[in-house]
Amino acid sequence: MEKTVEVLKSAIIRFAGDSGDGMQIAGSRFTETSAFFGNDLSTFPDFPAEIRAPAGTLFGVSGFQIQISSQDIYSPGDEPDVLVAMNPAALKVNLKDLKSHGTIIANEDAFSEKNLQLAGYESNPLEDGSLAGYKLLKVPITKATNNAVAELGLNAKDANRCKNFYALGLTYWLYDRPLEITESWLHSKFTGRPEIAEGNVKALRAGYYFGETAEIFTTRYKVAPAKLPKGIYRNVTGNHATALGILSASIKSGLPLFLGSYPITPASDILHELSGYKNFGVKTFQAEDEIAAICAAIGASFGGSLAFTTTSGPGMALKQEAVGLAVILELPLVICNVQRGGPSTGLPTKTEQADLLQVVSGRNGECPLPVLAAATAADCFNMVYEAARIAVKYMTPVVLLTDGYLANGAEPWNIPHVKDLPDIKVKFTTEKEGFFPYSRDENLARPWVKPGTPGLEHRIGGLEKQHITGNVSYDTQNHEFMVKMRDQKVQNIANDIPLLEVDGDPEGELLIIGWGSTYGSITAAKERLKAKGHKVSRIHLRYLNPFPKNLGEIIKKFKKVLIPELNLGQLRKLIRAEFLVDAIGLDKVQGLPFKASEIERKVLELLNK
């Protein structure tokens, strides 16, 4: 049967199944192939906290959404065009998000009476007409996979595990993706078990050719490569980009790299990634707990290394006393907080932006430090590099905020040239004459001295130090002076960061202020509103303490200010306090990123008022 071909500007696909169905692998392979193909793309992996939740249950569903496009895109998209549902639970959890008249590719073999009961279905949705508003394609994925791999003699468990590649092959046919990239990956991944590699390859091809031959598939889609700026691209997740930014800062500064960390979701991948770069002199230390991790990093900084520690919200809470120590020691240190849902253990695999107030002011005493935030997965590279530059220049710990959405999401990254990276200038004090441990340069930074430098022995510690000499001091006037000095040093960083640029008119009815991972959904919403003739302006904050110098000036030029956040309005509190503006909040605390449509609706509501 001849198939029709439809050319699309973009498409949104979601893979969903049990946590053991390999949906994250299928999504990652579709992402990698689309990146090689040249599409712009954005992804949203969503998976349960349990390593293997009970099969067939709603809370055990794992999903992976990707938007591919021939144009610039900013988010994984709101509503999937296609939902690949590997069982009833996956269908029930994800159906509410599927676009009206969207396509459902359902593994009909998994819709057994037991699985239907586990998902809370009273009747089979594939048979009862409840999906009449969608294009339903029933495919015997499990049986077809077993048939495809039968000649290899795999046991039932291994054969069943290949079904994600059958589903992947089917979507490759549907969106005209090549098979070779994934086949090469499989042979590389399973070098020790070639029969597993071959089984997955056979399943992949079987799914692809089922799409080619089955009469239920009448249309396939083409999404052309995007016209991106010239350069060499690679696909990165936020955690991967963070690790590469850390490594690049070490190489550019000429300082040995030390990472002291304790594994915690969703930050652990940064530690895993950097542990593979020992040939660059990278030292990674998996500590026994969060406190030991940051204290080791502080020790490494004292010893002359470029020091980092990575964590998430619960770990950040444990590190705070040591962060205060780093502040009073005035040593360079970068703390990467990959935020997740809280409080306490909260939602370990879900995203949130609820640690802003924690990192700005969550320590005892007057303890200011710079706070930066990455906007996209690729931007994690830029901002962790910038955090290292600021830490060394101003001799201070710096916090970088990312979150679970950025950490696990992927996008194309235009690899920068080394010569284009900002310099990270390092000056260790070696001259004995005129040395005092708490003297100041033009940036109010104190000297950085490697231990053992002859004649430059000095005392550091958590007790307040006397200005210039560094002797322990209990003098009340000196304490106030030193507190204000450290605060002024942080405020001076505003002179060293770029001014904000307004996307849209420089003044008007409504300004949207975003920070962190809300960048994509806010930008997409703003573009939709612009296409409909609405004038809305936007700024995005990557520097949260101190704020860019022109933030207040920009805010005053708009009648209304909207701040969407994945918390209960933490940036809104800071903006209101600093600039006395009645900013309006759009808050979401569901462990999920914003949809562009949610922001669009709020903007239209405010404009209509």
Residue boundaries of the structural domains of the chain: 4-223, 234-420, 508-608
The residues, ordered by sequence, that sit 6+ positions from 197 with a Cβ below 8 Å of its Cβ are: 186, 187, 189, 190, 191
pLDDT of residue 1: 66
Listed residue (187, 379, 381) closest to 273, CA to CA: 381
From edge to edge, which strands make up the β-sheet containing 283-286? 283-286, 257-261, 306-311, 333-339, 397-403, 371-373, 543-545
DSSP string for residues in 312-372? -HHHHHHHHHHHHHHHHHT--EEEEEEE-B-STT-BTTS---TTHHHHHH-SSSS----EE
Report the C-alpha gap between 498 and 549 in whole angstroms. 9
Burial class (CB in 10 A: 0-12, 13-18, 19+), 439: middle
pLDDT of residue 50: 81
Listed residue (465, 583, 457) closest to 513, CA to CA: 583
Instruction: Specify the CATH class of 234-420 in words.
Output: alpha beta
The answer to whether 579 and 551 have CB atoms below 8 angstroms apart is yes
Homologous superfamily (CATH) of 4-223 is Pyruvate-ferredoxin oxidoreductase, PFOR, domain III (3.40.920.10)
Mean pLDDT of 16-31: 96
Note the pLDDT tens digit of each residue in 74-114. 999 999 999 999 999 999 999 999 999 999 999 999 999 99
pLDDT of residue 256: 98
The answer to whether 282 and 305 have CB atoms below 8 angstroms apart is no
Mean pLDDT of 325-344: 98
Residue 435 has pLDDT above 90, yes or no: yes
Residue 194 has pLDDT above 80, yes or no: yes
Single-letter code of the amino acid located at 151: E
Residue 369 backbone phi and psi in degrees, to 5: -155, 155
Mean pLDDT of 177-192: 97
Report the C-alpha gap between 287 and 260 in whole angstroms. 7
Report the C-alpha gap between 180 and 201 in whole angstroms. 10
Mean pLDDT of 505-514: 97
pLDDT of residue 302: 97
pLDDT of residue 45: 97
pLDDT band at 230 (very low <50, low <70, confident <90, very high): very high
Report the C-alpha gap between 122 and 116 in whole angstroms. 7
pLDDT band at 54 (very low <50, low <70, confident <90, very high): confident
Report the C-alpha gap between 285 and 590 in whole angstroms. 33
Report the C-alpha gap between 536 and 178 in whole angstroms. 40
Report the C-alpha gap between 268 and 563 in whole angstroms. 30
Pairing between strand 410-414 and 306-311? Answer: unpaired
What is the pLDDT of the chain when averaged over all its residues? 97
Q: In whole angstroms, how large is the CA radius of gyration of the chain?
A: 26
Same fold, 234-420 and 508-608: yes
Listed residue (210, 143, 212) closest to 5, CA to CA: 212
Report the C-alpha gap between 185 and 163 in whole angstroms. 17
Tally DSSP H helices, then E strands, for the chain: 20, 21
Listed residue (471, 389, 401, 385) closest to 436, CA to CA: 471
Residue 462 has pLDDT above 70, yes or no: yes
- DSSP category for residue 470: -
Report the C-alpha gap between 182 and 33 in whole angstroms. 7
Single-letter code of the amino acid located at 14: R
The answer to whether 251 and 280 have CB atoms below 8 angstroms apart is yes
Report the C-alpha gap between 318 and 278 in whole angstroms. 28
Residue 352 has pLDDT above 90, yes or no: yes
Mean pLDDT of 52-56: 84
Report the C-alpha gap between 566 and 586 in whole angstroms. 8
Residue 24 has pLDDT above 70, yes or no: yes
Domain boundaries 508-608, corresponding CATH code? 3.40.50.920
Mean pLDDT of 403-420: 96
Residue 609 has pLDDT above 80, yes or no: no
Mean pLDDT of 192-216: 96
pLDDT of residue 459: 86
CA dihedral (268, 63, 412, 4) in degrees, to 10, reads 160
Note the pLDDT tens digit of each residue in 232-242. 999 999 999 99
Q: Which residue has the tokens 């001849």?
A: 2
The length of the chain is 609
